[in-house]
A and B are shown apart, each in its own frame.
Chain A
Amino acid sequence: MRRILVDHARASQAKKRSGDGAQIVLDAFDVVPDHASTEIIELDQALQELEQVSSRQAKIVELRYFGGLTVPETAEALGMNPRTVDRDWAAARVWLRRRLRP
């Protein structure tokens, strides 16, 4: 889902730049405001950096934010303790917030 959204965001920006005619519309998301595409791409880049710092935390963000999983579901998916997931999630949010909204 992360890939789909990020690719879509990139495609919609590329489309704006090139103005070409081949239009691919993810119509569930076709009313996403312009700034949202930029945010998705920036978040994707920040997540790639977080992966280098803690691949586990990046994974948790991906499942929680892009996948919509709850903390217990994320814990189950990764075979982790829910408390650890909750802790990592809190830390990862701070890490990303510092990176994206300094």
Chain B
Amino acid sequence: MTQTWDRITALFGAARLLDTSERKAFLDAACSHDAALRAEVERLLIDAAKDDTFLDEPIWAGLVSALPATSLTAGAVLKNRYRIEAPVASGGQAFVYHATDTVLSRKVIVKVMRGSGSQNLSIKARFEQEMTALSRIDHPGVVGIFDVGELPGGYPFLVIQFVNGTSLREELQNGPLEGHRVARLLRHLGSALGAAHAAGVVHQDLKPENIMLQRSDDGTETLKLIDFGICKVERSGLQRGVTSVTVAGTIRYMAPEQFHGEHAPACDTYALALVACEMLCGHPDSRALPKSADVETRTLIESALAFRPEDRPVDVQHWCEQLANALVKEHQVRGRALGVAAALTVAAAAVTLGSWYPPRSTTEPRRIIEKVGAFDPLVEGFLVHNEITGTVADNPQRNGFDGWRVSTGRQGHYFKNLTTEEKRRALDRGWRLTSVMRLEEGRCFTVVDFTGVGRRFDIDVDRVTGHDRVRLQTQIVPSLEGLDWTPAATDDAYHVYDLRYDPAALGADLWVDGVKRLTGYRGHSQFQQDGDLLFGVAVFEGTRAVASFQDVRFEINP
């Protein structure tokens, strides 16, 4: 069945690009001996061509349109003062319009909440929060609020300062920004966010789209944070008696705890660190920072991306200053080095200076190939093999979730492929496979499989009648039984399993919680499963396997 549907899909994919006559000829040739297959492909072509909105919009689009809504037409005047000009956008909770303040003859933004306050107290409360939040902050880097009101039917609206400029997102279309400029922007961002946090306001949806860049007449660049649309105001005591979890924001920049509805200032620090990465290298991902990035820069960025909010820097403004200083210093050092290079070879220096912080070259393998954290492995680009379910795992302190809890009734894993180049480099230079995992039942494992090179390295942790056993592969051929180690006591805490491969010794050593436990593991050549890098769970003398993975990481030595 699987193969049939894949085949139907493949033929469908080729046929849909052809016109009617070509399509017929193509199907004649491709399905010459299989009328049933042809019928299925044709049926798929017909069904796919049907005009249908099924799944057309992401799920939340449907949810939003289910909200009671209102909209204004151009020319409408609110409060005898604000004339609606044109719609700007409609976000999750609001319609946004360009408008003119006819009293002061200036452009403003009018934001009408989708929900009527009289129908939905939560929307009204949220609107009032935003209003209170914005009016509490008085900072040139934060968009100002001018007025509030309510449309007939109870739809509240805000009148907000019109910010002329380009968004950081538009600016980034032209590639990463120069280091000095990133430093300047970071100082502005730190100051604006610092003011918001001091006023008890967390932005919660920081991203390049919400950072507007402005250039004044003398050429200096400033910025404004906009769209505090999902702001949560601390101490506002919203909705007493109901445990309310607001999941909103842009997934890419969301801190892990935001998925659980926690919105402390630390989530802005997290988002800001990703924005800083994006300004520097074009990707909101610290792994994309070039190898040449300064250690201090990298350390600062990684500290702000700590999984637990309490591990991130407390003062976002101070952090921005530190990062800005590090970037300026780095640029100066690099500038001097380049000056020497320029004197030696003009052409080479010109190339280097042209892109001081180039986006990562696609031919250079990433040092860290994968990290899971408590994020959904699927989001990290893993695929699933067999039946497996994943949920986030709470940590014992109950102050958030800190692992990805995987369970199965048989065997299942997440997997990902490595490129041939990555495999070759890994075996040439050495590598390290680190897993932070917690076994509850059955077996959990992490594996790196160099298919084609003929070797595979497994870390298996088994729980049998209350005993843990850690094995470096096994299976099928009894004489190839691998190395194993039995911990003194069984517990269900997280442990760090760290397999390090030394190319000179052609073998790997296993470190558990920082102590070397097994040496000389040379891998094996049995089994090739889906993917080259995989982790998961399997039933072992039971009916169910459950384990949590906090981190799975594969690093190739530089």
User: In the complex, what residue of chain A is closest to B12 when comparing beta carbons?
Assistant: A91
Question: Is A53 an interface position by the 8 A CB rule?
Answer: yes
Q: How many residues of A contact B (CB 8 A)?
A: 50
A24-B243, A28-B92, A88-B9 as given contacts; A33 in contact with B66, CB under 8 Å: yes
Does B59 lie within 8 Å of A25, measured CB to CB?
Answer: no
What residues of A have a CB within 8 angstroms of the CB of B10 in the complex?
87
Does B248 lie within 8 Å of A64, measured CB to CB?
Answer: no
Which residues of A does B touch, CB under 8 Å? 1, 3-5, 22-33, 36, 40, 51-57, 59, 61-68, 77-79, 83-84, 87-88, 90-91, 93-98, 101
- What would be 12 A-B contacts, judged by CB atoms less than 8 Å apart? A22-B243, A25-B244, A26-B245, A31-B68, A31-B115, A65-B55, A68-B58, A79-B417, A87-B12, A87-B13, A91-B44, A97-B54
Q: Closest Cβ of chain B: how far from A70's Cβ, in Å?
A: 10
Interchain CA distance A51-B280 in the complex, whole Å = 38
Question: Is B122 an interface position by the 8 A CB rule?
Answer: yes
Does B247 lie within 8 Å of A40, measured CB to CB?
Answer: no
Does B376 lie within 8 Å of A3, measured CB to CB?
Answer: yes
Does A27 lie within 8 Å of B244, measured CB to CB?
Answer: yes
What residues of A have a CB within 8 angstroms of the CB of B383 in the complex?
55-56, 59, 78
New A-B contacts (15) at CB < 8 Å, excluding given A31-B120, A88-B9: A4-B259, A24-B243, A25-B242, A28-B247, A30-B122, A31-B67, A36-B62, A36-B66, A62-B378, A68-B59, A87-B13, A91-B12, A93-B55, A94-B47, A98-B47
Interface hub of A3, A22, A28 (most chain B Cβ within 10 A):
A28
User: In the complex, what residue of chain B is closest to A58 when comparing beta carbons?
Assistant: B384
What residues of A have a CB within 8 angstroms of the CB of B61 in the complex?
68
Across the A-B interface, give the 3 residue pairs with the lowest CB-CB distance, nearest first.
Answer: A87-B13, A68-B58, A91-B9
What residues of B have a CB within 8 angstroms of the CB of A29 in the complex?
63
User: In the complex, what residue of chain A is closest to B390 when comparing beta carbons?
Assistant: A3
Q: Closest Cβ of chain B: how far from A77's Cβ, in Å?
A: 6
Interface hub of B5, B59, B60, B392 (most chain A Cβ within 10 A):
B59
A31-B120, A62-B378 as given contacts; A91 in contact with B8, CB under 8 Å: yes
A26-B247, A93-B48, A97-B54 as given contacts; A59 in contact with B9, CB under 8 Å: no
Q: How many pairs of A and B residues are in contact by the CB < 8 Å rule?
A: 123
Does A55 lie within 8 Å of B390, measured CB to CB?
Answer: no
Does A25 lie within 8 Å of B243, measured CB to CB?
Answer: yes
Question: Is B381 an interface position by the 8 A CB rule?
Answer: yes
Does A24 lie within 8 Å of B245, measured CB to CB?
Answer: yes
Q: Closest Cβ of chain A: how far from B309's Cβ, in Å?
A: 19
User: In the complex, what residue of chain B is closest to A4 when comparing beta carbons?
Assistant: B247
Does B66 lie within 8 Å of A61, measured CB to CB?
Answer: no
What residues of B have a CB within 8 angstroms of the CB of A91 in the complex?
5, 8-9, 12-13, 44, 48
Question: Is B16 an interface position by the 8 A CB rule?
Answer: yes
Q: Closest Cβ of chain A: how far from B433's Cβ, in Å?
A: 20
Interchain CA distance A84-B16 in the complex, whole Å = 12
Q: Closest Cβ of chain B: how far from A15's Cβ, in Å?
A: 12
